[in-house]
């Protein structure tokens, strides 16, 4: 694993935190915080530079001692001081820093006064009213801490949709290739395209006697089989993602798909609506008395209830059933509806392709325009552009536009919002562009009002 500047900066940040919890000299703590910032903002990769035999260059706030530590971390991934501090302090103490509202100073006070070393201990102390007795902590703070630590302890681990899709796609095509398998659909929150998914829910149809269950359990990414029966199973993948599998009959595929796509709230509302019409909906179909009237496809199920098909993305019981009933379902934006992309980086800053490559790729995807939005100079780590480089890029874009058909490249920038809300490039330069995106990349720690003032000032830029 290559060690990046961000890793070195993180190590310095952790050293500063640990020193502060320990109650070290404030100047020493600040030196590590400043070093973390300098390293993070440095424009070249230390590992590469050291591998090439170069010296660590002079950086603000980095003397001989810190330069040696940069070298040590860049080559070994750690430094002796960090390891020593980790041994001197309770092992889980940095876990406490992840709880909103707890900085090193408070963690230090809670540790020294109440011997709190873990989130669980913190929770019990808050619940028992012991925190308010620590100097500097009041009753209000105690309530806030209790809520924050409760939320922290209850956070379940969810996967981003894009991450989950890597596992889902591979598993679905593996199962599809099993003899006797007909349909494989990933249902659940994944099919509803939620931003995160708790687990994957697969609905499969297969011939009787198909080895689909055995194949599922034997998938080489499976770490543990949690449950397994004739038609259902649950496994845990090596990534920690759980997968539930259901094998259903062909004639109830639509009903099963609808049931396992959810959401639960949507299902409940559908069932209630069916009851009002004297019908019953379950995972096997739509029934009138004992007679099955629909269920082979999702469309047939909705139709039996007098509804048009409702797209999975809308099935959250947020008014979609009422809207479907009166024929007012919204039309969803689809990939084919997209005409342009207004945020594109190229290799001039931290992207990989050239402007031409990006323009041609966008055109191949059916887009009509893109805006090239590189970073500005302040973001040295991402090779941000200065005014001269930006103007050269504009000339390049002019030449490209003169040549390309069915594609317009817009001149733009992702300009940095500086600490005080002014922008990283002069207005005379920005006014030459078609589009300006302004972004915050630093000082995320400003107090709420200062941060708001900063953004508002940037938005007021003429
Ligand atoms: P997740 O996994 O937390 O991201 O969310 P879902 O929606 O995938 O939920 P999950 O995996 O627990 O269940 C998959 C679907 O199965 C869910 O969307 C609807 C259905 N389902 C699960 N439990 C129930 C239930 O108790 N009643 C009803 N009507 N449907 C349920
Ligand atoms: Ca799920
Ligand atoms: Ca599930």
Alpha carbon distance 316, 142 (integer Å): 36
Q: Which two tokens stand for residue 133?
A: 């007795």
Q: Point out the ligand 1 atom lying closest to the alpha carbon of residue 268.
A: 29
Ligand nearest to the CA of 259: 1
Query: Which ranges of 201-241 would DSSP assign to H, the alpha helix?
Result: 212-218
Instruction: Taking the CA atoms of 267, 269, 270 and 275 in sequence, report the sign of the dihedral they define.
Output: positive
Q: Binning pLDDT at 50, 70 and 90, where does residue 1 land?
A: low
Q: Which two tokens stand for residue 210?
A: 């198909």
Q: Are strands 369-375 and 280-282 parallel, antiparallel or unpaired?
A: unpaired
Give the pLDDT score at 297: 97
Which helix (H) or strand (E) segment holds residue 371: the answer is: strand 369-375
Alpha carbon distance 264, 266 (integer Å): 5
Per-residue pLDDT averaged across 63-89, rounded? 92
User: If you average pLDDT over every residue of the chain, what do you get?
Assistant: 93
Distance 451 CA to ligand 2 centre (A): 37
Residue-range domains of the chain with CATH: 5-153 (1.10.150.110), 159-248 (3.30.460.10), 253-325 (3.30.210.10), 335-459 (3.20.20.140)
Q: With a 6 A CB cut-off, is 188 part of the ligand 1 pocket?
A: yes
- Provide the β-strand partners of residue 282: 285
Query: What secondary structure does DSSP assign to 345-359, as a single string?
Result: --TTTT-SS-HHHHH
Alpha carbon distance 417, 422 (integer Å): 6
Q: Point out the ligand 1 atom lying closest to the alpha carbon of residue 197.
A: 4
Which helix (H) or strand (E) segment holds residue 150: the answer is: helix 139-154
Percent of the chain with pLDDT over 70: 99
Is 295:301 a contact under the CB 8 Å cutoff? Answer: yes
Q: Which of 260, 262, 301 to mutate to test the pocket of ligand 1 (most atoms within 8 A of CB)?
A: 262
Q: Which of 42-46, 47-51, 291-295, 348-352 has the highest mean pLDDT?
A: 291-295
Which helix (H) or strand (E) segment holds residue 411: the answer is: strand 408-416
> How many CB atoms are located within 10 Å of the residue 266 CB?
21
Q: With a 6 A CB cut-off, is 267 part of the ligand 1 pocket?
A: yes
Is the model's pLDDT at 139 over the cut of 90?
Answer: yes
- Nearest residue (CA) to ligand 1, atom 16: 260
Is 286:280 a contact under the CB 8 Å cutoff? Answer: yes
Distance 236 CA to ligand 3 centre (A): 12
Q: With a 6 A CB cut-off, is 189 part of the ligand 1 pocket?
A: yes
> Greater confidence, 109 or 382?
109
How far CA 266 is from CA of 90, 243, 259, in Å, comes to 47, 22, 9
Distance 204 CA to ligand 2 centre (A): 15
- Provide the β-strand partners of residue 183: 205
Per-residue pLDDT averaged across 53-77, rounded? 90
Distance 451 CA to ligand 1 centre (A): 40
- Nearest residue (CA) to ligand 1, atom 24: 264
* Residue 69 C-beta-side C-alpha neighbours within 13 Å: 23
Q: Binning pLDDT at 50, 70 and 90, where does residue 429 land?
A: very high
- Nearest residue (CA) to ligand 1, atom 21: 264
Which helix (H) or strand (E) segment holds residue 26: the answer is: helix 26-41
Q: Give burial (CB, 10 Å; 0-12/13-18/19+) of 90.
A: middle
Per-residue pLDDT averaged across 407-414, rounded? 98
Is the model's pLDDT at 169 over the cut of 70?
Answer: yes
Q: Binning pLDDT at 50, 70 and 90, where does residue 2 land?
A: low
CA 136 from chain center: how many Å?
35
Q: With a 6 A CB cut-off, is 146 part of the ligand 1 pocket?
A: no
Per-residue pLDDT averaged across 335-354, rounded? 92
- Nearest residue (CA) to ligand 1, atom 1: 198
Q: Point out the ligand 1 atom lying closest to the alpha carbon of residue 196.
A: 4
CB neighbour list of residue 387: distance below 8 Å, 6 or more residues apart: 425, 426, 429
Distance 198 CA to ligand 1 centre (A): 10
User: What dihedral angle (degrees, nearest 10) is formed by the CA atoms of 52, 53, 58, 59?
Assistant: 40
Is 164:197 a contact under the CB 8 Å cutoff? Answer: yes
Secondary-structure breakdown of the chain: helix, strand, coil percentages, each rounded to the nearest 5: 50, 15, 35
Alpha carbon distance 10, 16 (integer Å): 10
Ligand nearest to the CA of 234: 3
Q: Point out the ligand 1 atom lying closest to the alpha carbon of residue 188.
A: 8
Q: With a 6 A CB cut-off, is 201 part of the ligand 1 pocket?
A: yes
Instruction: Taking the CA atoms of 305, 306, 312 and 318 in sequence, report the sign of the dihedral they define.
Output: negative
Q: With a 6 A CB cut-off, is 384 part of the ligand 1 pocket?
A: no
List, for residues 210-245, the tens digit of each pLDDT value: 999 999 999 988 988 999 999 999 999 988 899 999
Q: Return the HEC string of 60-78.
A: CCECHHHHHHHHHHHHHCC
Per-residue pLDDT averaged across 96-104, rounded? 90
Is the model's pLDDT at 157 over the cut of 80?
Answer: no
Q: Which of 158, 187, 189, 268 to mutate to test the pocket of ligand 1 (most atoms within 8 A of CB)?
A: 189
Per-residue pLDDT averaged across 383-397, rounded? 95
Alpha carbon distance 31, 40 (integer Å): 14
Give the pLDDT score at 156: 67
Percent of the chain with pLDDT over 90: 81
Distance 261 CA to ligand 3 centre (A): 10
List, for residues 15-60, the tens digit of each pLDDT value: 999 999 999 999 999 999 999 999 988 888 899 999 999 988 888 8
**b/e per residue 7-20 (b: at least 16 CB within 10 A):** bbbebbbbbbbbbb
Alpha carbon distance 150, 154 (integer Å): 6
Give the pLDDT score at 198: 93
Which chain residues have CB less than 5 Å from ligand 2, an ion? 188-189, 199, 201
Query: Which ranges of 328-386 would DSSP assign to H, the alpha helix?
Result: 355-364
Residue 54: asked if its preceding bond is cis (omega within 30°), the reply is no
Q: Which two tokens stand for residue 93?
A: 């103490």
Q: Which of 264, 265, 321 to mutate to test the pocket of ligand 1 (most atoms within 8 A of CB)?
A: 264
Q: With a 6 A CB cut-off, is 45 part of the ligand 1 pocket?
A: no
């Amino acid at each position: 694993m290559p060690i990046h500047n961000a890793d070195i900066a993180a190590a310095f940040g952790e050293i500063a935190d640990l020193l502060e919890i320990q109650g070290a000299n404030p100047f020493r703590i600040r030196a590590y915080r400043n070093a973390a910032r300098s390293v993070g903002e440095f424009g070249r990769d230390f590992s590469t530079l050291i591998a090439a035999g170069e010296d660590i260059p002079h950086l603000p706030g980095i003397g001989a001692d810190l330069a040696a530590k940069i070298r040590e971390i860049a080559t070994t991934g750690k430094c002796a001081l960090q390891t020593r501090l980790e041994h001197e302090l309770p092992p889980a103490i940095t876990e406490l820093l992840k709880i909103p509202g707890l900085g090193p100073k408070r963690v230090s006070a809670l540790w020294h006064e109440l011997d709190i070393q873990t989130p669980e201990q913190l929770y019990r102390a808050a619940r028992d009213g012991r925190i308010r007795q620590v100097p500097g902590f009041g009753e209000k703070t105690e309530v806030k801490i209790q809520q924050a630590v409760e939320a922290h302890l209850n956070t379940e681990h969810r996967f981003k949709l894009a991450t989950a899709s890597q596992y889902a796609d591979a598993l679905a095509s593996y199962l599809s290739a099993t003899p006797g398998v007909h349909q494989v659909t990933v249902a659940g929150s994944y099919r509803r395209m939620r931003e995160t998914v708790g687990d994957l829910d697969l609905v499969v149809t297969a011939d009787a006697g198909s080895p689909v269950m055995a194949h599922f359990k034997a998938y080489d990414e499976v770490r543990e089989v949690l449950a397994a029966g004739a038609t259902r199973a649950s496994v845990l993948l090596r990534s920690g993602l759980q997968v539930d599998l259901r094998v259903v009959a062909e004639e109830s595929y639509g009903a099963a798909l609808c049931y396992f796509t959810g959401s639960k709230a949507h299902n409940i509302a559908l069932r209630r609506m069916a009851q009002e019409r004297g019908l019953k909906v379950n995972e096997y179909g739509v029934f009138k008395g004992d007679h099955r009237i629909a269920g082979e496809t999702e469309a047939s199920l909705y139709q039996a209830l007098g509804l048009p098909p409702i797209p999975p993305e809308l099935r959250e019981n947020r008014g979609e059933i009422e809207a479907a009933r009166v024929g007012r379902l919204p039309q969803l934006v689809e990939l084919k509806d997209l005409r342009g992309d207004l945020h594109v980086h190229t290799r001039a800053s931290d992207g990989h392709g050239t402007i031409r490559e990006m323009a041609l790729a966008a055109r191949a995807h059916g887009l009509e325009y893109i805006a090239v939005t590189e970073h500005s100079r302040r973001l040295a780590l991402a090779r941000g552009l200065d005014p001269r480089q930006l103007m050269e890029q504009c000339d390049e874009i002019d030449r490209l536009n003169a040549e390309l058909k069915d594609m317009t490249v817009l001149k733009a920038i992702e300009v940095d919002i500086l600490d005080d809300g002014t922008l990283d490039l002069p207005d005379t330069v920005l006014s030459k562009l078609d589009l300006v995106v302004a972004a915050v990349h630093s000082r995320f720690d400003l107090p709420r009002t200062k941060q708001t003032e900063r953004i508002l000032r940037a938005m007021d830029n003429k």
